[in-house]
A and B are shown apart, each in its own frame.
Chain A
């Protein structure tokens, strides 16, 4: 098992806490009317983003979904620009044009923030194709939910990536519900890794509530992809604790089910492990929480102080500025 020292385990805990506290603050600010539009929270699924990102190199590419705050934070996108984007400010990651669902960051090769289910998969295939044609050793990591598996673009992309032997890591976050539709109500075959393997690529399941298991699986998968040729598919079995979005009354799943999954909260799990090992006590946890809280508060302060884009620039970037490189 790679790098599972106490320090690294603490690092994973910190990464998951950063995501959760940031999102809790986002929910609060949504209620306060500071954030509008759609807001999809990742709470409960933090182990997936935190674990997978450990395996990626800075030069790799990440294509994410509209539930992407966790991926962005774990990838290294600053909380300040992220929060400012949700505030609709010019200092936001996408200069206020994207909002919660469309976080982009060229510096960390974070390519959205894609809000059409399944729409990011062809992009990831294209990124990998470009790397392959140039001979670059990058991996493109594509996150999508199990709902995307029902889309044609999923099948087209799995096929093309496998057919052309492209370096894509397909990370399916199976949280069991496509908005309100349960997996067994939408898929004839609910074993998604089995479906993926039909395209002729390595595919396996991972406990998405166990950050260390996720990290280990992702390391193995990335190594395989980088060695090439061809993609790998991981089915991360996870669960979102919160409603689909801020408007979801949650009529489609029993409260008992939610409670049962919360028993497996990835943050509590790793905290328990660290306490057992004697690597974490209340004082240390308080200190960690305090540091994370300060980072979140700084992000809020950054967003509050940020400015609104001038309306003179409304139509900027509809077309790229300057000639192509």
Chain B
């Protein structure tokens, strides 16, 4: 039994980065302002001083090329960790991620692989408006050849990185910007965790709330509120959007017979749509109510606080959708 250490999501990731740099000489960190600045979200703060400019590399504002360089270096034996400041800028590197990282293994008949990790911040909620508030993890989860993970807890923030580095495939880690300050207890010896299963974060028998990333704390808060009203909601954290752990989702809904999917992405063509489709494919005859979804409004995320709040999934929305799913008229 180890004692817990008070830490934050940001520190947990930094500690995972530090461990990776210490353990494997092939690992290096590269991205915009990861060195002298200490990282846009201060995640890499202090690493330049500890590991030097060769292994903690500030790049020019050239997302396509430093991501592509990460792919090339990975194919050539290194274990790069590329930080894209936010997923909004990943669009400038989309060619490299989709046309190279995702394809090379298959397209070369298995001769080459891309053991690359790309970290990026995702999500809205800080009044930074349309161009800095995207949730694109569902997009990337569309692409075979990639793995997409969304750590929502301190354990996952601490433990997913090493597992991702050990994976021979490109792994994209989406860190919700609102989680960086989340604090809690983490065992002093917290270590690697798997990156291919979902987890039940709260047990319940009446309805399954399926979510991931920055929406997990909202879903848990909603479940707590629902419990006061006598509704026992089970909360499933997807953790990994690709490959999607269908078994865990289906098992939960097979138990509760009702599902609410919470996804900060836009509803149309989202990961919430994929989860819904899998429920219909795999446990249609277990469904006792229509599947409900709580997603972002289909607008470019607005700046003004009241509009942004209205556009994003909130605890009250999750509570309402869940009550709707379990409602009876008798």
The answer to whether A and B touch directly, with their CB atoms under 8 angstroms apart, is yes
- Residues of A bordering B, CB below 8 Å: 61, 63, 92-98, 102, 104-106, 111-114, 116, 119, 121-131, 133-134, 152-153, 156-157, 159-160, 163-164, 315-325
The residue from A122, A127, A322 contacting B64, defined by CB atoms under 8 A apart: A122
* Also in contact, A61 and B76, with CB within 8 A (given A123-B71, A156-B64, A319-B145): yes
Most buried by B among A112, A121, A129: A129
Other A-B contacts than A104-B107, A105-B111, A320-B168, 20 sampled, CB-CB below 8 A, are A63-B72, A96-B109, A97-B106, A98-B107, A112-B108, A122-B64, A122-B96, A123-B68, A123-B69, A125-B65, A128-B72, A133-B28, A153-B65, A156-B65, A157-B62, A159-B65, A317-B105, A319-B168, A320-B113, A325-B77
Q: How many whole Å from B21's CB to the nearest CB in chain A?
A: 13
B62, A156: Cβ atoms closer than 8 Å: yes
B residues in contact with A130, CB < 8 Å: 72-73, 76-78
In the complex, 9 of the A-B residue pairs with CB atoms within 8 angstroms, ordered by the A residue number, are A92-B109, A112-B107, A126-B72, A130-B73, A152-B64, A153-B64, A156-B66, A160-B62, A324-B166
* B168:A324 contact, CB within 8 angstroms: yes
In the docked arrangement, what's the CA distance between A226 and B161, Å? 35
Q: At the interface, is chain B mostly helix, strand, loop or mixed?
A: mixed
User: Which residues of B sit under 8 angstroms from A94, Cβ to Cβ?
Assistant: 107-109, 111
Q: Does A124 contact B95, Cβ atoms closer than 8 Å? A: no
Q: Is the CB of A119 within 8 A of B99?
A: yes
Asked if A111 and B145 sit within 8 Å, CB to CB, the answer is no
Q: Which chain A residues border B66 with CB–CB below 8 Å?
A: 122, 156, 160
A127's contact among B60, B72, B167, by CB below 8 Å, is which? B72
B169 touches A (CB below 8 Å)? yes
Q: Which of A98, A126, A128 has the most CB of B within 10 A?
A: A126
B108 touches A104 (CB 8 A): yes
- Chain B neighbourhood of A97, CB < 8 A: 106-109
Report how far A131 CA is from B69 CA in the complex, Å. 12
Tell me which residues from 31 to 85 in chain B have a Cβ below 8 Å from any Cβ of chain A: 54-55, 57, 59-60, 62, 64-80
Task: Mark contacts of B203-226 with chain A using CB atoms, 8 A cut-off: 1 yes-contact digit, 0 otherwise.
Answer: 000000000000000000000000
Partner of A126, one of B69, B106, B115, B167: B69
Secondary structure dominating the interface of A: mixed
Q: Does B144 contact A (CB under 8 A)?
A: yes
Q: Is B230 located at the chain interface by the 8 A CB criterion?
A: no
CB pair A119 B76 closer than 8 Å: no
Shortest C-beta distance, A297 to chain B (Å), equals 25
Could you list which residues of chain B lie within 8 angstroms of chain A, going by C-beta atoms?
A: 28, 54-55, 57, 59-60, 62, 64-80, 95-96, 99-100, 104-115, 144-145, 147, 166-169
**Chain A proximity of B103: nearest CB distance (Å):** 8
User: Given the complex of chains A and B, what is the CA–CA distance between A104 and B76 in angstroms?
Assistant: 14
Structural contact, A159 and B108, CB atoms closer than 8 A: no
Q: B99 contacts A317, CB within 8 Å?
A: no
Are A104 and B68 within 8 A (Cβ)? no
Residue on A with the closest CB to B101? Answer: A123
List the B residue with the shortest CB-CB distance to A314: B106
Contacts of A320 in B (CB 8 A): 105, 110, 113-115, 168-169
Structural contact, A122 and B68, CB atoms closer than 8 A: yes
Chain A residues positioned under 8 Å from B112 (CB to CB): 104, 106, 111
Contacts of B111 in A (CB 8 A): 94, 104-106
Q: Are A126 and B110 CB-contacts (below 8 A) given A61-B76, A318-B144, A320-B168?
A: no
A157 to B70, CA, bound (A): 12
Tell me the complex Cα distance, A115–B23, Å. Answer: 37
Measured between beta carbons, the chain B residues less than 8 angstroms from A127 are 72-73, 75-76
**How distant is the Cα of A134 from the Cα of B76 in the complex, in angstroms?**
10
CB neighbours of A157 from chain B (8 A):
62, 65, 68-69
* Nearest CB in chain A: distance from B157 CB, A: 22
Q: How far is the CB of B238 from chain A (nearest CB, A)?
A: 19
Given contacts A129-B69, A129-B72, contact A324 B115 (CB under 8 A): yes
A129 and B99 contacting across the interface, CB-CB below 8 Å: no
How near does chain A come to B183, taking the closest CB pair, in angstroms?
Answer: 33
Q: Is the CB of A119 within 8 A of B69?
A: no
Q: How far is the CA of A228 from the CA of B104 in the complex (A)?
A: 29
Distance to closest chain A CB from B69 (angstroms) = 4
A104 close to B109 (CB less than 8 A): yes
Closest to A93 in B: B109
Instruction: State whether A126 and B166 are in contact (beta carbons under 8 Å apart), knowing that A96-B109, A98-B109, A316-B110 are contacts in the complex.
Output: no
Q: Of residues B96, B107, B115, B167, which shows the largest number of chain A Cβ atoms within 10 Å of its Cβ?
A: B107
* Complex: A151 Cα to B183 Cα, angstroms: 44
By a CB distance below 8 angstroms, the chain B residues around A114 are 100
Please, which residues of chain B bring their CB within 8 A of the CB of A316? 106, 110
Closest A-B pairs by Cβ, 10 of them? A126-B72, A122-B68, A95-B109, A104-B108, A156-B65, A156-B62, A126-B69, A320-B168, A320-B113, A130-B76
CB neighbours (8 Å) of B78 from chain A are 129-130, 133-134
Please indicate the chain A residues that have their CB under 8 angstroms from the CB of B77 in the complex: 130, 134, 325
